[in-house]
Structure 1
């Protein structure tokens, strides 16, 4: 039996041949990263102020003084922006608390540093979205983000366990309950402290000292 052959259709006039995607230069990459970060910042504030469901891509573009068409070049949807901001903030918060834990010292000082880092972070608007809007993301993404949330909680628990070993807490303190409590307080503060970068340190410290008043050994 003769072997059949399939011929490739000749390209039509005006068709463009697609080659490998062009890799941006380091300068262009930095510029794109800055723009993407600015979009995430704007989206985080818009979502926090208007609510994720009520917010639109146009709201984000208006906040930046951009055309919506330009915004879609970086993020195809508000869901994509939410996913990025949740992932970025979760990784950064874990890394920051891990560094505090690695430095050692009294657990009370670790809690103070960790809470202040959480409450005064440049990503404060991201915290509110991570805590209250991530459930709107696809199941696979949500599973990944929930794993990061558990890792962050586990770091807090390790700090409270360390304090218990050093007899720094009340005798009845449960490290699991304390870890949940500190996260609940910090996430709640994200909706009450002003939604701006670098929230007032003094206001944040009042939350910290109130928490420590109820946990520290007297």
Structure 2
């Protein structure tokens, strides 16, 4: 699925009323996803929940998949921002940087939980959207792969494939977040314990020596 240009932008919602309409549509979509899941959700469900007409939805998005792609890219942008705020190379040691990156990913996932549930579900059955999601993960994969290569320069994890290791770590992050936050578990999960567990798994996967 190519990137859809018909998504909401400030230029497409110049008025206060337009912004309010879009916010109502997106809030309604999050509510419906939490209740029914993305796959069962329809545009009719969204506009009914929002109290808007179908035309209001299509003024901003071509489909519910276009809405989801927009949200997925917003997740990427927010995750990058959170990582940039928390990770400061090379002043911090590797464990501190790993913990900061994990916290940024976890907190972004939690903040955008409804969207990420939809992304996970659609990527499992839609090859085009799976490629979109893969492209969204590419930045983090490349960043981790570079970190693995630097670690190998210091004698850590010899013989490890940096790219495959990075993909494994990103897959772990996404699946662990989904497994612990989706399906009503987000209210009771211990955030700090989960962040610590992910950080330990990532750190020990890379920073070991024979």
Q: TM-score, normalised by structure 2?
A: 0.65
> 1-side partners of 2:20 and 2:169: how far apart?
32
Using a 3 Å threshold, how does the CA distance of structure 1 residues 126 and 119 change in structure 2: closer, same or farther?
same
User: Which deviates the most, 90-99 or 112-121?
Assistant: 90-99
Q: Look up the match of 1:8.
A: none
Using a 3 Å threshold, how does the CA distance of structure 1 residues 94 and 37 change in structure 2: closer, same or farther?
farther
Q: Look up the match of 1:202.
A: 192
Using a 3 Å threshold, how does the CA distance of structure 1 residues 189 and 143 change in structure 2: closer, same or farther?
closer
Secondary structure of 1:217's match? coil
Deviations 1:37-67 (A, max 9, x none): 564455356446634331112333455x433
Using a 3 Å threshold, how does the CA distance of structure 1 residues 171 and 35 change in structure 2: closer, same or farther?
farther
Q: Look up the match of 2:61.
A: 75
| One of 163, 171, 174 as aligned partner of 1:184 | 171
Secondary structure of 1:126's match? helix
**1:144-155 to 2 correspondences below 5 Å:** 146-155=134-143
> 2-side partners of 1:101 and 1:158: how far apart?
15
C-alpha contact 2:28 2:46 (8 A) present in aligned 1: yes
Shift of 1:136: 6.6
Secondary structure of 1:114's match? helix
Secondary structure of 2:181's match? coil
1:110 and 2:97 correspond: yes
Q: TM-score, normalised by structure 1?
A: 0.63
Shift of 1:81: 0.8
**Unpaired stretches in structure 2, ≥5 consecutive residues:** 1-10
Q: Look up the match of 1:3.
A: none
Q: Which structure has the larger Rg? A: 1
**Unpaired stretches in structure 1, ≥5 consecutive residues:** 1-22
Deviations 1:114-137 (A, max 9, x none): 111111212344334334424777
Q: Look up the match of 2:153.
A: 165
Secondary structure of 1:75's match? coil
> 2-side partners of 1:45 and 1:111: how far apart?
33
**How many pairs were matched up?**
190
Identify the structure with the greater helix proportion: 2
Using a 3 Å threshold, how does the CA distance of structure 1 residues 41 and 103 change in structure 2: closer, same or farther?
farther
